[in-house]
Amino acid sequence: MREFLFLTIANNLPRAHFFDEYRYIFLRLAGMEIRGKCNLWGPFTIRPIGGVKNIEIGVDTFINSDIRFGVPKDKVIIGSRVQIGPRVMIETVTHGLVYECV
C-alpha cells in the first residue's frame, strides 16, 4: 500500500522545476533506494507491484520521463551521475543490471 501511495504521488506531481527537485523524496518513501539528491522526472512504471524495492539509484543521477522498470526478482543498480533519456525500458527477468558512469 505504501509503494502504491507514494509512487502515485510522485508520478502525479506537476512537471515544474520545484517538483522535479523533490520527486525523489516520494520515490524514496515508496521504497526505492536512492542514495542522495537526484533529478528524476517521471512518471515511472514499475512492474510487478512490490518491485520498487529492487531499484537503487546513486547520487546526482538524472532520469528523464516515461521510464519503465520490470524488476520481478533481481536488482537494478543505477550508479552516481548517470543520465538516462526518455522512454527507456529497463527489464530484469533472469538477471540484475548495473549502470555506472565511468
Cα atoms in the Cβ-side hemisphere of radius 13 Å centred on 21: 3
Of the candidates 40, 24, 43, the one whose C-alpha atom is nearest the C-alpha of residue 32 is 24
Tens-digit pLDDT profile for residues 35-82: 999 999 989 999 998 999 999 999 999 999 999 999 888 889 999 999
If you average pLDDT over every residue of the chain, what do you get? Answer: 90
Residue 81 three-state SS = coil
Would you state the torsion angle of the CA atoms of residues 58, 73, 44, 52, taken in this order, to the nearest 10 degrees? -70
Q: Which pLDDT band holds residue 98 (cuts at 50, 70, 90)?
A: low
Task: Give residue 96's pLDDT.
Answer: 59
CB 32 within 8 A of CB 40: no
Q: Using the 8-state DSSP alphabet, how is residue 10 labeled? A: H
Number of Cβ atoms within 10 Å of the Cβ of 75: 14
Domain ranges of the chain: 2-99
Task: Give residue 69's pLDDT.
Answer: 94
Whole-model pTM: value is 0.86
Task: Give residue 91's pLDDT.
Answer: 87
Task: Give residue 10's pLDDT.
Answer: 95
